[in-house]
Amino acid sequence: MKKTILLMIVLLVFLSCSTSDEPNGLNLPTILNFSASATEILKGEEVVLSWSVTNANSVQIDNGIGSVTSSGTYNISPASTTKYTLTAINNDGTSLMEVTITVYPSVIGKWHIEYQYNNINYIGLFHITFYSDKHFYSTGDAGNWQGPWSQTQNKITWTYPVNNCIYTGTVSDLSMEGTMVLSGSTGVWWGTKE
């Protein structure tokens, strides 16, 4: 009887000494924080990653960042939407945390355009924005339109349908002087950057 009681006491002491908050008694690294100063940016903008880790022998961040200290910051400017994973390692195992930076196309140029067609006594107005992912969006008296644009040498060209007609605009990259074609008739247009 005494031996049984003694065995139970020893077992209880052992269990109380070996318990921890981690599963199976492991003491894994703790990632206190892994975040970004912004999770949505325009292409070309910069964002700051920050982190804090305890109880880790090594800490790494993927996508070219590599080994880092247990706490710190890192400036990044991803070209496209990217998920960053922080990996903290010690003798008991590994802890992970992720943060995703969503990258939207940046604005290449935005202009206020006035136009006038040959033989038509009318002056129109619209605004057009060119984005880095090769699409444009315009608003104005002809309605709201969007589509692709292309660049050849120093010319930017875009085409979109309005009222069953095809408008094709070509503009010099810097001077913003060019012509617009409407169903085979050339109209003069001019604009200023917004």
CA–CA dist 76, 191 (Å, integer): 36
CA–CA dist 190, 116 (Å, integer): 9
Long-range contacts of 153-161 (CB under 8 A, 24+ apart): 156/130, 158/128, 158/130
What separation in angstroms does the CA of 120 have from each of 67, 123, 141? 66, 9, 16
Structure tokens at 127: 């605004």
Structure tokens at 76: 């990044």
- DSSP letters, the chain, are -HHHHHHHHHHHHHHHHH--SSGGG----EEEEEEES-SEEETT--EEEEEEEES-SEEEETTTTEEE-SEEEEEE--SS-EEEEEEEEETTEEEEEEEEEEEEPPEEEEEEEEEEETT---EEEEEEEEETTSEEEEEETT--EEEEEEEETTEEEEEEEETTEEEEEEEETTT-EEEEEETTEEEEEEEEE-
User: What type of residue is 100?
Assistant: T
Structure tokens at 80: 């496209």
Per-residue confidence in pLDDT tens, the chain, 194 aa? 444 444 444 444 444 443 334 556 789 999 999 999 999 998 889 999 999 999 999 999 999 999 999 999 999 999 999 999 999 999 999 999 999 999 988 887 777 777 666 555 566 777 888 888 888 888 877 678 888 888 776 677 777 665 555 666 666 654 555 666 655 555 666 556 56
CA–CA dist 38, 75 (Å, integer): 11
- pLDDT of amino acid 116: 66
